[in-house]
Structure 1
Amino acid sequence: MRIKLMIKMMVCMLGICLMLNSCYHRHNSHQQHAAMLEYSDRQLDSISFSTTHHYTNKYNFMVFKDSIHLMRQQPEELVSGLSVDSFSVKKNQLLVVTDIRMVPQDSIDSVWVQLATEDNRFGWSRESRLLPQVVPDDPISEFIMTFSNVHLLIFLVVIVVITLAYLVRKVFHSNAKIVHFNDIDSPYPLALVLLVSISAAFYAWIQTFEPEMWRQFYFHPSLNPFAVPKMLGVFLALVWSILIVGLACVDEVYHRLPFGEALLYLGGLAGVCALDYIIFSVSTLYYIGYILLVAYIWFAVKSYRRRNS
């Protein structure tokens, strides 16, 4: 027994020593505080540019439009009226920022960006012409760009298709299920449409009052709500909530309705969510969306409580 006790004590002491050793922090005499570091003028300019423009040297872009034209010569040659030539870079090709230059003589745009292509060609472009034609090389940024450009058309098509489907069903069947009016006995569809509405209004609020914060998120996106400013964290939490509640809706609907009716109901629910997104994301930009959102929440909750009292 004594031997076993001694072995246990030795193991415990060894474990404690290992844990204490892992907590030891060796002081590095060569390490300096960030405030004590000296930066060159070029580094200071790069930091300042990154703060206001949200990208700097070695930042990766991808061509989003059909093609982009880059000038081979220096920007000063174009401003001086000299002849220059250019080359095109096709869609979905990568570009890397290699230099940024301020050209005060340029009356169109004083910011010029030099980019390198995948085949080691170098060219210049005005920033105002460059940014609408490229997207940050990140899947989230690409999704934001694509969604911002075509989402209204897609949602309008969805709404028209779903509306026609409901009209056809009304002709042949009565008492069709639809959210808000003849809904199923479940809180998930209500929660989903309210989350979409609140998210759309909050997205428009960020666009209106914190455009630079959204611009920073566009150039440096993240899906982690805790890795971004609080306002963006709330928005990302709402987006994750929409995904989770949406999956719960699908499971709930398929357990409560036959397959055909469930498919049509989910299509109608998607159409209502699309309509809510369009209405609140646009109307909130003109401040009337806040009033509409309160009225919509009151209407949705009252309708649900009346049906499920």
Structure 2
Amino acid sequence: MRRHPFLLFIVLLAVVIQLAGCYHKKTPSSFRLSDSIQEAQISRRIAAGGDSILKQKDSTDDKWDGITDKVDSLSFRVKHHYSPGYNFVVTSDSLMLLRQQPEEAVNGMRTDSFAVKKGKEIVVADVRILPYDKQDSVWIKIATEDYAFGWIHEGRLLKQVAPADPISQFISTFSNVHLLIFLIVISIIAVGYLARKILKHNAKLVHFNDINSFYPTLLAVIVALSASFYASIQLFAPETWREFYFHPSLNPFSQPLLLNIFLVLVWAMLIIAIATIDDVRRLLKSGEALLYLSGLAAVCAVNYIVFSVLTLYYIGYPLLMAYIYYAFHVYIHKSSETYYCGNCGKRLHRKGRCPYCGAINE
């Protein structure tokens, strides 16, 4: 039975859209941590004696007579994209928290601190605004898994943590500067090695000595387009991307327009990658298919790095247009080669002398 790759692509697209639409973010560990912290606070107040559980503030807070702005939780959530009850994971080696009240640190009083180790989950317990703090007016109260409480400046906190959601952690990992440098070095080495090997054995390579399939070209273009669009959102709509970072979703139809387009490109990338692997496996032998897919992965990695970085400096836009034109021009030119040499079997654009072996084809 003859295969229909385009039909396969349509079926995969429909399946993925259904799965994306059914995605529901579950964070049971976050709720357990928050609930446990509330229980711990109640237990402490009961142990402290009698009616203290009815008080809305701790006695340590009531003793302060300085200036402290009351936080509007809704406006804080809109501006900062998180609020009390939000869960983070520590990504630095350690996160230092102040045991005392932030007013004591701002006024130069003696304070003590403790460390939260890397990988530990923490939750935002409270927010306090100190307008007279010249370093950072926003202080965040953190509760740990061990029911310990401490304060830290928001600026320091956000540099050392990532949202507990797996999608947010994935985004954080791929936004890491050290990882980007590592990818650049690995990509240069991989492309150099594969180009040498492919040219030596006259093997197949996307954009150069490509196979008779549109999917590899489309995949490389989609990767470049996604990388450029990703950088554009960060450049022109940073708050939109920040909101997505703190509250991600796999559903491409539950986000603002820019994020909708980006998520559709990401899902399209995944679907086209599956279709590409299927087509390559059908058209090439095992060893050749592995080499071709390795070369395609290296090209996609270079596209991601080049366009995600250069778009931030506006160079990526004309380069993207030129790349799309080149990729489709090469594919259309190659796909029009409907003749094959009777001697070596290479594809030819027209009849006549074969440019590969010199044989005459009538």
TM range (shorter): 0.7 to 0.9
8 A contact 1:68–1:89 mirrored in 2: yes
1:153 to 162, 182, 195: 182
State the secondary structure of the residue aligned to 1:70.
strand
TM-score, with structure 2 as normaliser: 0.71
8 A contact 2:87–2:163 mirrored in 1: yes
Distance 2:181 2:262 in 1: 20
**C-alpha displacement at 1:87, in angstroms?**
0.5
| Counterpart mapping for 1:125-274 below 5 A | 125-149=152-176, 150-171=179-200, 173=201, 175-274=202-301
Q: Does 1:78 align with 2:101?
A: no
Distance 1:110 1:288 in 2: 38
Distance 1:192 1:254 in 2: 16
Per the alignment, residue 360 of structure 2 pairs with: none
8 A contact 2:198–2:204 mirrored in 1: no
Distance 1:170 1:276 in 2: 21
8 A contact 1:135–1:141 mirrored in 2: yes
Tell me: CA distance 1:152–1:235, structure 2 relative to 1, closer, same or farther (3 Å): farther
State the secondary structure of the residue aligned to 1:225.
coil
**C-alpha displacement at 1:297, in angstroms?**
0.7
- Code of the aligned partner of 1:91: K
8 A contact 2:122–2:142 mirrored in 1: yes
- Code of the aligned partner of 1:258: K
TM-score, with structure 1 as normaliser: 0.83
**C-alpha displacement at 1:284, in angstroms?**
1.1
**C-alpha displacement at 1:235, in angstroms?**
0.2
Q: Deviations over 1:199-242 (max 9, x none)?
A: 11111110111000000000000010111111101100000000
**C-alpha displacement at 1:169, in angstroms?**
4.6
State the secondary structure of the residue aligned to 1:105.
coil
8 A contact 1:155–1:271 mirrored in 2: no
The CA RMSD measured in Å over matched residues stands at 1.4
**C-alpha displacement at 1:158, in angstroms?**
3.4
Which ranges of 4 or more aligned residues in structure 1 deviate by more than 3 Å?
A: 168-171
**C-alpha displacement at 1:185, in angstroms?**
0.4
**C-alpha displacement at 1:154, in angstroms?**
2.4
1:301 to 308, 315, 328: 328
2:119 to 87, 92, 95: 92
**C-alpha displacement at 1:249, in angstroms?**
0.7
Distance 2:220 2:198 in 1: 22
8 A contact 2:163–2:169 mirrored in 1: yes
Query: Percentage identity across aligned positions?
Result: 55
Q: Deviations over 1:35-72 (max 9, x none)?
A: xxxxxxx9970001001000011111110111100000
State the secondary structure of the residue aligned to 1:116.
strand
Distance 1:285 1:154 in 2: 18
State the secondary structure of the residue aligned to 1:177.
coil
| Counterpart mapping for 1:101-120 below 5 A | 101-120=128-147
- Code of the aligned partner of 1:282: V
Distance 1:77 1:98 in 2: 19
8 A contact 2:70–2:129 mirrored in 1: no
Distance 1:222 1:156 in 2: 31
- Code of the aligned partner of 1:211: P
Q: Aligned pair count? A: 266
State the secondary structure of the residue aligned to 1:227.
coil
8 A contact 1:69–1:89 mirrored in 2: yes
Distance 1:251 1:43 in 2: 59
State the secondary structure of the residue aligned to 1:247.
helix
Gaps of at least 5 residues in structure 1 are 1-41
**C-alpha displacement at 1:178, in angstroms?**
0.6
Tell me: CA distance 1:168–1:186, structure 2 relative to 1, closer, same or farther (3 Å): closer
**C-alpha displacement at 1:167, in angstroms?**
1.4
**C-alpha displacement at 1:152, in angstroms?**
4.0
State the secondary structure of the residue aligned to 2:76.
helix
- Code of the aligned partner of 1:130: L
Q: Does 1:47 align with 2:74?
A: yes
- Code of the aligned partner of 2:189: V
**C-alpha displacement at 1:286, in angstroms?**
1.2
Structure showing the higher helix proportion among its residues: 1
Distance 1:170 1:230 in 2: 43
